[in-house]
Amino acid sequence: MPAKIDRGNALSSLTLAPLIDVVFLLLIFFLVASRLSQEDRELDIPLPSAANAMPMTAEPQELLVNVDQLGTYSVNGQTVDETDLEQIILQAVTDNPLNQSVIIRADRRVPLQAPVTVMDVCLRCGAGYSLSIADEES
């Protein structure tokens, strides 16, 4: 014996006129918006060009500063002192002013002052930094 399902009166009292009005308004909005977008592209405006432009899709290079157990700094395989380090970070921030980041890799046996000095130089130059304590033996 089949079961009877009572559907109720909810669907019979639903009016579709306001819903249809909203759909037509959305349709008109998107038609007008796409037309205005198309007209902006059709304007004959000579755009400027640059001969030495570089693409913006490349990720900026992170600057890697290594601090060994004696507290000496090395950047790109070269040992530098604090003033040279500040010049290197300042040049990197000048080349990439919005989001230059510096990764500080310090030996776990280094005195705390050496990585803190690098952090201070980064803050003075306006670069973001992250600290990584590494074990030189592994």
Q: Locate the domains of the chain by residue range.
A: 63-134
Q: Would residue 43 be called left, alpha or beta, if left means φ above 0 and alpha means ψ between -120 and 50 degrees?
A: beta
Q: What is the pLDDT of residues 89-133, one digit of tens each?
A: 999 888 887 788 898 988 888 888 988 999 999 999 888 888 887
The pair of structure tokens assigned to 8 is 């109720």
Question: Higher confidence at residue 125 or residue 37?
Answer: 125
pTM: 0.54
Per the prediction, the chain carries an average pLDDT of 79
Is residue 136 predicted with pLDDT exceeding 70? no
- What does the alpha-carbon distance between residue 75 and residue 85 come to, in Å, rounded to a whole number? 8
Residue in 125, 131, 124, 83 with CA at minimum distance from that of residue 105 = 131
Q: How far is CA 29 from CA 24, 41, 46, 99, in A?
A: 9, 19, 30, 38
Supply the pLDDT for residue 138. 43
d(CA 55, CA 53): 7
Cα–Cα nearest to 103, from 86, 89, 91: 89
> 63-67 and 73-75 as β-strands: parallel, antiparallel, unpaired?
antiparallel
Mean pLDDT of 35-60: 61
Q: Which residue has the higher pLDDT, 40 or 34?
A: 34
Kindly state the helix (H) or strand (E) to which residue 82 belongs, with its residue range: helix 82-95
What value does the mean pLDDT take over residues 65-86? 90
User: What pLDDT shows up at residue 2?
Assistant: 72
pLDDT-above-90 percentage for the chain: 24
**Which among 87, 91, 88, 116 is positioned nearest to 104, based on CA atoms?**
116
Residue with the bigger pLDDT between 22 and 35: it is 22
